[in-house]
Each structure stands twice: as structure tokens, then as C-alpha cells.
Amino acid sequence: MKRAMQIGAVLATLTAATAVSAAEHEVLILPDAYFPSVVYLDEGDTVKFTNLTGSEHNIISKHESWALGPIADQGSMTMVVEQGVQTTFYDANAISEEDGSFLVEGNLSFADAPLD
């Protein structure tokens, strides 16, 4: 019985440590940019996109493998990031009239954040 309680305590500690290790990152959707434009994260972290543009926005990944939106002005949407997710994302509402390319781009990175 005592051993089962010890094992349960260890499992509870490991579970709590795993839950605490996930971080939440925030990306601000601005009229002509994302801030930050690159988010350094680990698998299982969440990214919260907050719209500060004055109008509704849709965020899509390269090749449209994932999408968030519409996100209302002053609204937010959150996603959990798993390894293998498409890491380049765009503002679906900001498209060049000249060539159809996206004008606003951001990136998720699983690399270590650079030190300043």
C-alpha cells in the first residue's frame, strides 16, 4: 500500500511537471505585421493570436494545413503547437493585388531562441 502511494505521488509530480513545462506565447496581429514575427517554442506550447487591427482577420498556414479565424477585432484564438505543424503563417486578409502573394508573414520555430 505504501509503495502504491509513493508511485502515485511520483506520477502526480511528473504529470504536474509536464503540465507546467508547456508555455503560452502571444502573437499580436497588427495592421501590417505580426509581433513578434517569429515565435520560439517547444512542442505542446500554445500560441494565442490577438487581433489589434480594427477589423476581422483570418490566419492561415502555408499550404493551408491549418487556419484560425475569423478572429474579431480585440478577439483572440489559441492553438496548441505540435511537432510537424506547418510553421509559416499568413494573414489571409492581406494579399497583394499585383501578384496574389501574402503581404504579412509570421513563423513558428522549434529552434532555440537567439540570445541578444
Q: Which of 40, 23, 17, 48 is nearest to 87 (CA)?
A: 40
Distance CA 75, CA 24 (A): 16
Name the residue type at position 35: F
Give the closest residue to 31 by CA, choosing from 56, 58, 52.
Answer: 52
Sketch the domain layout of the chain as residue ranges.
22-109
Percent of the chain whose predicted confidence (pLDDT) is above 70: 82
Across the range 82-92, mean pLDDT stands at 93
The CATH code of domain 22-109 reads 2.60.40.420
CA–CA distance, 116 with 104 (Å, rounded to integer): 25
The answer on pLDDT for 15 being more than 90 is no
pLDDT: which is higher, 28 or 101: 28
How many CB atoms lie under 10 A from the CB of residue 116?
3
Q: Is the pLDDT of residue 91 over 70?
A: yes
* 25 has pLDDT over 90: yes
Residue 112 has pLDDT above 80, yes or no: yes
Percent of the chain scoring above 90 in pLDDT? 68
Q: For the residues 66-76, what does the mean pLDDT come to?
A: 97
